[in-house]
Amino acid sequence: MLHSMRRRNCGRWTFAAAFLLPLLVARVMGAEKADIVVTNALVVTMNAQREVFSPGAVVIRGERIVAVGPAPIAGKFTATRTIDAAGGIVMPGMINTHTHAAMSVFRGLGDDVPDRLRRYIWPLEAKVVNADLVYWGALHGLVEMVEGGVTTFVDMYPHPESTARAAQKIGIRGVITYDVKDDLAPVRQFVATWRNDPLIIPALGLHSPYGASAEQIRQAALLSKELDLRVSMHVAEMDFELEELQKKYGQTPVEYLNSLGLLSPRLIAAHCIFLTDTDIALLKANDVGVAHNMVANIKSAKGVAPVLKLRAAGVRVGLGTDGAMSGNTLDVISQLGYVAKLHKLANHDRSVMPAIDVVEMATIGGARALHLEDRLGSLEAGKLADVVVIDTKSTSMIPLYDPYTALVYAASPRDVRTTIVNGREVMRDRRVQTVNTRDVAEHVRALTKNIEKIAATLN
């Protein structure tokens, strides 16, 4: 396993000469070098066999996982840093497949207001959103994600360069989308700027079938294909969206997007609440990824997306939080219980959507929805080292008969102790290492004065 890893990561002989020889020598001496070893862990791998090692260990070198297994494997390595998980759950970093991080500055505004998007959010955003607000709002939102064990997020918002800079600063992995309008030059510019960043995956954004024109959707489809870019879009989320498309084209949102050539493995369709069986077949045939946002969908009284059917059809489904005006929190752990329980309720069966399936969507399922499962979503040698440690000392985590049910039904995002992204310990012992979170909070509080004034005129 280790040998194949080395081959994959360090293919060039110059690199091998500089770095591999000392490791080989160390091995002869009895131990290989590593950067981080996580020990004393309840390791939930989410690999194909869903292996759990208790006690187990995870070994990281550079940006990759090099070994995962029962506790004794740690003994084969000498590491610069050893993290004692103290019996905590060590699992793949969670993937937030749909969010608007910068909207953290609006959290708690207009929560119980009817027709909020058109009457409240859009007018508010038109008046206050600028590159500075997006930078600080994204930083704040990303602090929350890292603190909650999210290691990859997919973002849609104006001023995506601000969000990308914030992600870079924090050290979180981001699929950051640039909204496609009529002029494609700035989109191409954005993609060129970020294409080679180790953490940022530039992508395209389209608001929705009703928020983008048919021509814009067609252009985005072509550009997505030309530059191999992912596209994120709100799909089949609104009742008025369904009505409009039915009236204009006699089509469902998915059929409409199919007619414009947008359905492809590169599309990440958020929400997908209102789907026909034909829609589900189209999503599967085109290998589209779905971002399931349960909390946001039910808080807005829209409905429960048919995720059991999607999964049965083999569609790739991950979890998303949506923005903080929709679901209020940006960590994935807070979604887990809702996802399990709402599908049980909607299907009148307490045995469907068991905890392990929910954890799957939060990790490897999210990676699959983004077509990144070759490098993310599970703890396996060779994958990128996105790893979180979750304390099991909180009262609600005791006793712990089953790590999946503990995570889904009893854990809090506040239980996340350590978040490692790309081999870097971005949060250590609940302290984000890369930004001063108090400064970020102060910046956000300062922004809210003006926001509050304008919001008051909209109620």
Tell which one of 40, 259, 412, 433 touches its own copies (CB under 8 A).
Answer: 412
Q: Which of 247, 199, 215 is nearest to 372 (CA)?
A: 199
**435 contributes a contact to its own copies by CB under 8 A:** no
**329 contributes a contact to its own copies by CB under 8 A:** yes
**147 contributes a contact to its own copies by CB under 8 A:** yes
Residue 210 or residue 409: which is nearer to its own copies going by CB? Answer: 409
**144 contributes a contact to its own copies by CB under 8 A:** yes
Distance CA 355, CA 333 (A): 12
Tell which one of 71, 227, 298, 313 touches its own copies (CB under 8 A).
Answer: 298
Tell which one of 83, 235, 406, 426 touches its own copies (CB under 8 A).
Answer: 406
Distance CA 303, CA 283 (A): 19
Phi, psi (degrees; rounded to nearest 5) at 275: -125, 140
User: Under DSSP, is residue 164 helix (H, G, I), strand (E, B) or coil?
Assistant: helix
Could you tell me the smallest distance in angstroms from the CB atom of residue 250 to its own copies? 25
**272 contributes a contact to its own copies by CB under 8 A:** no
Per DSSP, 414 falls in state: G
CB 6 within 8 Å of CB 26: no
Could you tell me the smallest distance in angstroms from the CB atom of residue 393 to its own copies? 8
Kindly write out the interface string for residues 103-122 of this chain, putting x where it contacts its own copies by CB under 8 A and - elsewhere. --x-xxx-xxxx-x------
Tell which one of 27, 50, 299, 428 touches its own copies (CB under 8 A).
Answer: 299
Beta-carbon count within 10 A of 314 CB: 11
**300 contributes a contact to its own copies by CB under 8 A:** yes
CB 209 within 8 Å of CB 257: yes
In this chain, which stretch among 13-21, 25-33, 102-110, 150-158 interacts with its own copies, using CB under 8 A?
Answer: 102-110
**81 contributes a contact to its own copies by CB under 8 A:** no
**396 contributes a contact to its own copies by CB under 8 A:** yes
Distance CA 240, CA 340 (A): 28
Tell me how far the alpha carbon of residue 156 is from its chain's centroid. Answer: 12
Could you tell me the smallest distance in angstroms from the CB atom of residue 145 to its own copies? 9
Q: Which two tokens stand for residue 96?
A: 């937030």
- Identify whether 55 is preceded by a cis peptide bond (ω within 30 of 0): yes
Distance CA 119, CA 110 (A): 10
Distance CA 435, CA 161 (A): 18
Could you tell me the smallest distance in angstroms from the CB atom of residue 420 to its own copies? 19
Residue 31 or residue 345: which is nearer to its own copies going by CB? Answer: 345
Q: Which of 238, 241, 240, 98 is nearest to 157 (CA)?
A: 98
In angstroms, the first-to-last Cα distance of the chain is 60
Single-letter code of the amino acid located at 277: D
Residue 93 or residue 289: which is nearer to its own copies going by CB? Answer: 93
Single-letter code of the amino acid located at 168: Q
Could you tell me the smallest distance in angstroms from the CB atom of residue 259 to its own copies? 30
Could you tell me the smallest distance in angstroms from the CB atom of residue 18 to its own copies? 41
Distance CA 312, CA 395 (A): 36
Tell which one of 18, 20, 192, 398 touches its own copies (CB under 8 A).
Answer: 398
Distance CA 367, CA 152 (A): 9
Tell which one of 84, 374, 402, 439 touches its own copies (CB under 8 A).
Answer: 402
Tell which one of 279, 331, 380, 425 touches its own copies (CB under 8 A).
Answer: 331
User: Under DSSP, is residue 371 helix (H, G, I), strand (E, B) or coil?
Assistant: coil
**86 contributes a contact to its own copies by CB under 8 A:** no
- Residues 332-361 interacting with its own copies (rule: CB under 8 A): 337-338, 340-342, 344-345, 347-351, 353-355
Which residues of the chain form contacts with its own copies (CB under 8 A)? 105, 107-109, 111-114, 116, 140, 143-144, 147, 295, 298-304, 327-331, 337-338, 340-342, 344-345, 347-351, 353-355, 394-396, 398-402, 405-406, 409-410, 412-415, 437, 441, 444-445, 448, 452, 455
